[in-house]
Amino acid sequence: MRALMKTSAGPGLELTDAPMCEAGPDEVLIRVLRTGICGTDLHIDGWDPWASRVVRTPLILGHEFVGEVAATGPGVTGVRAGDIVSGEGHLVCGRCRNCMAGRRHLCIRTIGLGVNTDGAFAEYVVLPSSNVWAHREPIPLDVAAIFDPFGNAVHTALAFPVLNEDVLVTGAGPIGVMAGAIAKHAGARNVVVTDVSGYRLTLARTMGATVACDVGRADVGSVAAELGMSEGFDVGMEMSGNADALRNMISQMRSGGRIALLGLPAQDVPVDMATIVTRMLTLRGIYGREMYETWYAMSVLLEGGLDIAPVITHRYGYEQHADAFATARSGRCGKVVIDWTRPTGPGVL
Protein backbone atom coordinates (compact mmCIF):
# COMPACT_ATOMS: atom_id res chain seq x y z
CA MET A 1 0.00 0.00 0.00
CA ARG A 2 1.08 3.62 -0.53
CA ALA A 3 2.17 5.38 2.66
CA LEU A 4 3.82 8.64 3.68
CA MET A 5 6.74 7.63 5.89
CA LYS A 6 9.60 8.93 7.90
CA THR A 7 12.02 6.34 6.53
CA SER A 8 15.10 7.46 8.47
CA ALA A 9 16.20 9.97 11.09
CA GLY A 10 16.36 13.45 9.59
CA PRO A 11 14.15 16.02 7.85
CA GLY A 12 11.71 15.00 5.14
CA LEU A 13 9.12 12.36 4.30
CA GLU A 14 8.86 9.77 1.55
CA LEU A 15 5.81 8.46 -0.28
CA THR A 16 6.62 4.79 -0.56
CA ASP A 17 5.22 1.27 -0.60
CA ALA A 18 4.58 -0.28 2.80
CA PRO A 19 3.39 -3.77 3.74
CA MET A 20 -0.39 -4.14 3.71
CA CYS A 21 -1.81 -4.15 7.23
CA GLU A 22 -4.41 -6.63 8.50
CA ALA A 23 -6.98 -6.54 11.29
CA GLY A 24 -6.27 -8.85 14.22
CA PRO A 25 -8.61 -9.76 17.10
CA ASP A 26 -10.64 -6.72 18.25
CA GLU A 27 -9.11 -4.60 15.49
CA VAL A 28 -10.57 -2.77 12.49
CA LEU A 29 -8.97 -2.35 9.06
CA ILE A 30 -9.89 1.06 7.59
CA ARG A 31 -9.43 2.29 4.02
CA VAL A 32 -8.26 5.87 4.49
CA LEU A 33 -10.15 8.52 2.52
CA ARG A 34 -8.87 11.84 3.93
CA THR A 35 -6.25 12.91 6.45
CA GLY A 36 -5.54 16.22 8.16
CA ILE A 37 -2.08 17.63 8.77
CA CYS A 38 -1.36 18.41 12.43
CA GLY A 39 1.40 20.47 14.03
CA THR A 40 2.80 17.19 15.37
CA ASP A 41 3.23 15.98 11.78
CA LEU A 42 5.16 19.17 10.97
CA HIS A 43 7.49 18.55 13.92
CA ILE A 44 8.17 15.00 12.71
CA ASP A 45 8.65 16.13 9.10
CA GLY A 46 11.14 18.81 10.19
CA TRP A 47 12.84 16.44 12.65
CA ASP A 48 13.12 18.96 15.48
CA PRO A 49 14.61 18.05 18.89
CA TRP A 50 11.26 16.74 20.15
CA ALA A 51 10.79 14.48 17.11
CA SER A 52 14.35 13.16 17.23
CA ARG A 53 13.87 12.29 20.89
CA VAL A 54 10.41 10.65 20.61
CA VAL A 55 10.05 9.12 17.13
CA ARG A 56 11.60 5.84 16.02
CA THR A 57 11.93 5.23 12.29
CA PRO A 58 10.62 3.89 10.01
CA LEU A 59 7.21 5.33 10.85
CA ILE A 60 4.00 6.07 8.95
CA LEU A 61 2.76 9.47 10.14
CA GLY A 62 -0.76 10.74 10.66
CA HIS A 63 -3.49 10.63 13.28
CA GLU A 64 -6.24 12.86 11.85
CA PHE A 65 -8.32 10.84 9.39
CA VAL A 66 -11.61 9.55 8.09
CA GLY A 67 -12.04 6.27 6.27
CA GLU A 68 -14.29 3.38 5.36
CA VAL A 69 -14.22 0.14 7.31
CA ALA A 70 -12.71 -2.48 4.99
CA ALA A 71 -12.69 -5.46 7.38
CA THR A 72 -13.05 -6.33 11.03
CA GLY A 73 -11.10 -8.83 13.10
CA PRO A 74 -12.54 -11.52 15.39
CA GLY A 75 -14.49 -10.15 18.34
CA VAL A 76 -15.34 -6.76 16.83
CA THR A 77 -18.87 -5.49 17.39
CA GLY A 78 -20.45 -2.09 16.79
CA VAL A 79 -18.86 -1.38 13.41
CA ARG A 80 -19.04 -3.23 10.13
CA ALA A 81 -17.62 -3.08 6.62
CA GLY A 82 -18.73 0.06 4.79
CA ASP A 83 -19.10 2.26 7.88
CA ILE A 84 -17.58 5.75 7.64
CA VAL A 85 -15.34 6.21 10.67
CA SER A 86 -12.79 8.47 12.31
CA GLY A 87 -10.39 7.33 15.01
CA GLU A 88 -9.20 8.34 18.45
CA GLY A 89 -5.43 8.62 18.06
CA HIS A 90 -4.58 8.06 21.73
CA LEU A 91 -4.15 4.33 22.30
CA VAL A 92 -4.55 3.65 26.02
CA CYS A 93 -3.51 0.72 28.18
CA GLY A 94 -6.90 -0.03 29.76
CA ARG A 95 -5.23 -1.16 33.00
CA CYS A 96 -3.87 1.92 34.81
CA ARG A 97 -5.77 3.67 37.60
CA ASN A 98 -7.36 6.25 35.31
CA CYS A 99 -8.32 3.77 32.60
CA MET A 100 -9.94 1.48 35.19
CA ALA A 101 -11.87 4.48 36.54
CA GLY A 102 -13.17 5.41 33.07
CA ARG A 103 -10.82 8.38 32.65
CA ARG A 104 -9.02 7.00 29.62
CA HIS A 105 -7.88 10.42 28.39
CA LEU A 106 -5.63 10.50 31.50
CA CYS A 107 -3.94 7.15 30.79
CA ILE A 108 -0.32 7.27 31.94
CA ARG A 109 0.75 4.81 29.20
CA THR A 110 -0.88 6.51 26.19
CA ILE A 111 0.63 5.64 22.79
CA GLY A 112 0.16 8.11 19.93
CA LEU A 113 -1.04 6.93 16.52
CA GLY A 114 1.40 8.20 13.91
CA VAL A 115 3.91 9.11 16.62
CA ASN A 116 4.71 5.94 18.56
CA THR A 117 3.09 3.50 16.14
CA ASP A 118 2.23 3.50 12.43
CA GLY A 119 -0.50 6.01 11.58
CA ALA A 120 -3.06 7.00 8.98
CA PHE A 121 -1.02 8.69 6.22
CA ALA A 122 -1.52 5.59 4.09
CA GLU A 123 -4.11 3.82 2.03
CA TYR A 124 -5.04 1.67 5.04
CA VAL A 125 -4.71 1.87 8.82
CA VAL A 126 -5.53 -0.57 11.63
CA LEU A 127 -7.02 0.54 14.94
CA PRO A 128 -8.33 -1.21 18.05
CA SER A 129 -12.11 -1.35 17.73
CA SER A 130 -12.41 0.68 20.95
CA ASN A 131 -10.69 3.60 19.17
CA VAL A 132 -13.03 3.66 16.18
CA TRP A 133 -15.77 6.30 16.02
CA ALA A 134 -18.52 5.52 13.52
CA HIS A 135 -20.34 8.47 11.96
CA ARG A 136 -24.02 7.54 12.14
CA GLU A 137 -25.20 10.76 10.49
CA PRO A 138 -24.10 12.04 7.05
CA ILE A 139 -20.99 14.19 7.36
CA PRO A 140 -18.64 15.80 4.81
CA LEU A 141 -15.47 13.71 4.56
CA ASP A 142 -13.19 16.73 5.02
CA VAL A 143 -14.95 17.59 8.29
CA ALA A 144 -14.83 13.99 9.49
CA ALA A 145 -11.08 13.97 8.76
CA ILE A 146 -10.45 16.69 11.35
CA PHE A 147 -12.48 15.23 14.24
CA ASP A 148 -9.23 14.84 16.20
CA PRO A 149 -8.37 18.59 16.32
CA PHE A 150 -12.07 19.47 16.45
CA GLY A 151 -12.17 17.34 19.58
CA ASN A 152 -9.27 19.29 21.08
CA ALA A 153 -11.25 22.48 20.43
CA VAL A 154 -14.44 21.05 21.95
CA HIS A 155 -12.60 19.72 25.02
CA THR A 156 -11.03 23.15 25.57
CA ALA A 157 -14.06 25.30 24.73
CA LEU A 158 -16.40 23.33 26.99
CA ALA A 159 -13.96 22.84 29.88
CA PHE A 160 -15.86 25.62 31.68
CA PRO A 161 -19.42 26.94 31.17
CA VAL A 162 -19.45 29.70 28.55
CA LEU A 163 -23.17 30.59 28.37
CA ASN A 164 -23.49 34.41 28.61
CA GLU A 165 -19.76 34.70 29.41
CA ASP A 166 -17.04 36.85 27.85
CA VAL A 167 -14.38 34.60 26.34
CA LEU A 168 -10.78 35.32 25.35
CA VAL A 169 -9.04 32.92 22.92
CA THR A 170 -5.30 33.48 22.43
CA GLY A 171 -4.02 31.87 19.23
CA ALA A 172 -5.99 31.81 15.96
CA GLY A 173 -4.64 28.54 14.64
CA PRO A 174 -7.30 26.13 13.38
CA ILE A 175 -8.01 24.73 16.86
CA GLY A 176 -8.25 28.21 18.39
CA VAL A 177 -10.58 29.37 15.61
CA MET A 178 -12.80 26.31 16.12
CA ALA A 179 -12.78 26.82 19.90
CA GLY A 180 -14.02 30.37 19.41
CA ALA A 181 -16.79 29.17 17.10
CA ILE A 182 -17.82 26.50 19.62
CA ALA A 183 -17.94 29.02 22.47
CA LYS A 184 -20.11 31.36 20.40
CA HIS A 185 -22.39 28.47 19.40
CA ALA A 186 -22.65 27.46 23.07
CA GLY A 187 -23.94 30.89 24.04
CA ALA A 188 -20.93 33.06 24.91
CA ARG A 189 -21.74 36.78 24.95
CA ASN A 190 -18.46 37.93 23.41
CA VAL A 191 -15.63 35.90 21.90
CA VAL A 192 -12.36 37.76 21.37
CA VAL A 193 -9.69 35.88 19.39
CA THR A 194 -6.12 37.20 19.33
CA ASP A 195 -3.16 36.53 17.05
CA VAL A 196 -0.66 38.40 14.85
CA SER A 197 -1.58 36.63 11.59
CA GLY A 198 -3.96 38.67 9.46
CA TYR A 199 -4.93 35.57 7.48
CA ARG A 200 -5.97 33.61 10.55
CA LEU A 201 -7.69 36.56 12.22
CA THR A 202 -9.83 36.88 9.08
CA LEU A 203 -10.63 33.19 9.41
CA ALA A 204 -11.61 33.74 13.06
CA ARG A 205 -14.04 36.47 12.00
CA THR A 206 -15.48 34.15 9.36
CA MET A 207 -16.04 31.55 12.08
CA GLY A 208 -17.99 33.98 14.25
CA ALA A 209 -15.56 35.75 16.56
CA THR A 210 -17.01 38.97 17.99
CA VAL A 211 -13.60 40.61 17.64
CA ALA A 212 -10.42 39.27 16.03
CA CYS A 213 -7.61 41.31 17.58
CA ASP A 214 -4.10 41.74 16.16
CA VAL A 215 -2.13 42.03 19.40
CA GLY A 216 0.79 43.48 17.46
CA ARG A 217 -1.32 46.56 16.84
CA ALA A 218 -3.99 46.72 19.56
CA ASP A 219 -4.30 46.02 23.28
CA VAL A 220 -6.72 43.35 24.46
CA GLY A 221 -7.65 45.52 27.43
CA SER A 222 -8.92 48.28 25.14
CA VAL A 223 -11.00 45.73 23.21
CA ALA A 224 -12.54 44.51 26.47
CA ALA A 225 -13.39 48.09 27.44
CA GLU A 226 -15.00 48.75 24.05
CA LEU A 227 -17.19 45.66 24.56
CA GLY A 228 -18.33 46.88 27.95
CA MET A 229 -16.38 44.47 30.15
CA SER A 230 -15.76 46.33 33.38
CA GLU A 231 -14.03 43.51 35.28
CA GLY A 232 -12.29 41.41 32.62
CA PHE A 233 -12.88 38.14 30.79
CA ASP A 234 -14.78 35.29 32.42
CA VAL A 235 -13.21 32.39 30.50
CA GLY A 236 -9.83 32.15 28.77
CA MET A 237 -8.63 29.58 26.25
CA GLU A 238 -4.86 29.64 25.67
CA MET A 239 -4.19 27.89 22.37
CA SER A 240 -0.87 29.34 21.23
CA GLY A 241 1.75 28.10 23.69
CA ASN A 242 3.15 31.64 23.64
CA ALA A 243 4.46 32.86 27.00
CA ASP A 244 3.43 36.48 26.43
CA ALA A 245 -0.07 35.39 25.41
CA LEU A 246 -0.54 33.42 28.65
CA ARG A 247 0.78 36.22 30.83
CA ASN A 248 -1.45 38.75 29.07
CA MET A 249 -4.46 36.45 29.44
CA ILE A 250 -3.89 36.11 33.19
CA SER A 251 -3.79 39.89 33.50
CA GLN A 252 -7.09 40.26 31.60
CA MET A 253 -9.18 37.81 33.67
CA ARG A 254 -11.78 38.91 36.19
CA SER A 255 -11.59 37.66 39.76
CA GLY A 256 -12.71 34.02 39.77
CA GLY A 257 -11.97 33.67 36.07
CA ARG A 258 -11.16 30.31 34.53
CA ILE A 259 -8.50 29.45 31.96
CA ALA A 260 -8.24 26.30 29.84
CA LEU A 261 -4.70 25.67 28.56
CA LEU A 262 -4.20 23.68 25.34
CA GLY A 263 -1.16 25.40 23.79
CA LEU A 264 2.15 23.70 24.53
CA PRO A 265 5.01 26.13 25.26
CA ALA A 266 8.48 25.25 24.03
CA GLN A 267 10.04 26.13 27.38
CA ASP A 268 9.16 27.02 30.97
CA VAL A 269 6.82 30.01 31.28
CA PRO A 270 7.12 32.31 34.32
CA VAL A 271 3.70 33.66 35.32
CA ASP A 272 2.35 36.14 37.86
CA MET A 273 1.39 33.73 40.65
CA ALA A 274 0.29 36.62 42.88
CA THR A 275 -2.43 37.54 40.38
CA ILE A 276 -3.51 33.91 40.02
CA VAL A 277 -3.78 33.56 43.81
CA THR A 278 -5.33 36.91 44.72
CA ARG A 279 -7.85 36.81 41.85
CA MET A 280 -8.52 33.14 42.64
CA LEU A 281 -8.11 32.10 39.01
CA THR A 282 -8.54 28.49 37.91
CA LEU A 283 -6.09 27.08 35.33
CA ARG A 284 -6.82 23.67 33.77
CA GLY A 285 -4.55 21.77 31.38
CA ILE A 286 -6.24 20.18 28.37
CA TYR A 287 -4.72 17.33 26.37
CA GLY A 288 -6.55 15.51 23.60
CA ARG A 289 -10.17 14.51 23.99
CA GLU A 290 -12.24 12.87 26.72
CA MET A 291 -13.02 9.35 25.56
CA TYR A 292 -15.68 9.37 24.40
CA GLU A 293 -17.75 12.17 25.85
CA THR A 294 -15.97 14.72 23.66
CA TRP A 295 -16.66 12.63 20.56
CA TYR A 296 -20.35 12.52 21.42
CA ALA A 297 -20.34 16.30 21.95
CA MET A 298 -18.67 16.83 18.55
CA SER A 299 -21.38 14.91 16.73
CA VAL A 300 -24.17 16.67 18.61
CA LEU A 301 -22.69 20.12 17.97
CA LEU A 302 -22.59 19.44 14.23
CA GLU A 303 -26.14 18.08 14.30
CA GLY A 304 -27.14 21.27 16.13
CA GLY A 305 -25.90 23.50 13.33
CA LEU A 306 -22.27 24.28 14.18
CA ASP A 307 -20.38 24.65 10.89
CA ILE A 308 -16.62 24.09 11.05
CA ALA A 309 -16.15 23.53 7.32
CA PRO A 310 -14.74 27.06 6.71
CA VAL A 311 -11.67 26.17 8.81
CA ILE A 312 -10.66 23.71 6.05
CA THR A 313 -8.94 25.87 3.44
CA HIS A 314 -6.80 23.51 1.33
CA ARG A 315 -7.04 19.96 -0.04
CA TYR A 316 -4.26 18.10 -1.88
CA GLY A 317 -3.90 14.65 -3.38
CA TYR A 318 -1.47 12.21 -1.76
CA GLU A 319 1.21 12.78 -4.41
CA GLN A 320 1.17 16.51 -3.50
CA HIS A 321 2.19 15.85 0.09
CA ALA A 322 5.19 18.19 -0.13
CA ASP A 323 2.94 21.07 -1.21
CA ALA A 324 0.43 20.16 1.50
CA PHE A 325 3.09 20.25 4.22
CA ALA A 326 4.57 23.50 2.87
CA THR A 327 1.13 25.12 2.98
CA ALA A 328 0.50 23.90 6.53
CA ARG A 329 3.89 25.19 7.62
CA SER A 330 3.34 28.61 6.00
CA GLY A 331 0.58 29.58 8.41
CA ARG A 332 -1.47 31.11 5.60
CA CYS A 333 -4.08 28.42 5.86
CA GLY A 334 -6.63 26.80 8.10
CA LYS A 335 -6.71 23.02 8.16
CA VAL A 336 -4.94 21.28 5.27
CA VAL A 337 -6.42 17.95 4.14
CA ILE A 338 -4.82 15.21 2.03
CA ASP A 339 -7.13 13.15 -0.20
CA TRP A 340 -5.99 9.51 -0.27
CA THR A 341 -8.39 8.55 -3.04
CA ARG A 342 -6.58 10.57 -5.73
CA PRO A 343 -3.01 11.63 -6.47
CA THR A 344 -3.78 15.34 -7.00
CA GLY A 345 -6.31 17.81 -5.66
CA PRO A 346 -7.43 21.42 -6.04
CA GLY A 347 -5.08 22.94 -3.45
CA VAL A 348 -6.97 26.04 -2.31
CA LEU A 349 -10.67 25.35 -1.67
For residue 105, the model assigns a pLDDT of 95
Enumerate the β-bridge partners of residue 191: 167
Of 79, 90, 86, whose CA–CA distance to 35 is shortest?
A: 86
Structure confidence at residue 9 as a pLDDT band (50, 70, 90): very high
Q: What is the pLDDT of residues 114-162, one digit of tens each?
A: 999 999 999 999 999 999 999 999 999 999 999 999 999 999 999 999 9
User: Has 206 been annotated as catalytic?
Assistant: no
198 phi/psi in degrees, rounded to 5: -60, -40
Q: What is the pLDDT of residues 280-291, one digit of tens each?
A: 999 999 999 999
- Annotated binding-site residue numbers for NAD(+): 175, 195, 200, 262-264, 286-287
- What is the percent of the chain with per-residue pLDDT over 90, rounded to a whole number? 99
Q: Which domains does the chain carry?
A: 2-146+308-348 (3.90.180.10), 153-285 (3.40.50.720)
> What mean pLDDT value characterizes the chain?
97
User: Has 43 been annotated as catalytic?
Assistant: yes
The rounded distance, in Å, linking the Cα atoms of 114 and 119 is 4
Say if residues 63 and 148 touch (Cβ distance below 8 Å): yes
Say if residues 120 and 87 touch (Cβ distance below 8 Å): yes
Question: 40, 72, 294, 327: which one is catalytic?
Answer: 40
For residue 296, the model assigns a pLDDT of 97
Please measure the distance between the N-terminal and C-terminal CA atoms of the chain and give it in whole angstroms.
Answer: 28
Question: 43, 135, 206, 282: which one is catalytic?
Answer: 43
- Annotated binding-site residue numbers: 38, 63-64, 93, 96, 99, 107, 175, 195, 200, 262-264, 286-287
The answer, yes or no, to whether residue 263 has pLDDT greater than 90, is: yes
- Annotated binding-site residue numbers for Zn(2+): 38, 63-64, 93, 96, 99, 107
The answer, yes or no, to whether residue 244 has pLDDT greater than 90, is: yes
For residue 247, the model assigns a pLDDT of 97
For residue 120, the model assigns a pLDDT of 98
H runs (alpha helix) in the chain: 39-46, 49-54, 97-100, 141-145, 147-157, 174-185, 198-206, 220-226, 243-252, 273-278, 293-303, 321-330
Structure confidence at residue 266 as a pLDDT band (50, 70, 90): confident
Say if residues 167 and 186 touch (Cβ distance below 8 Å): no
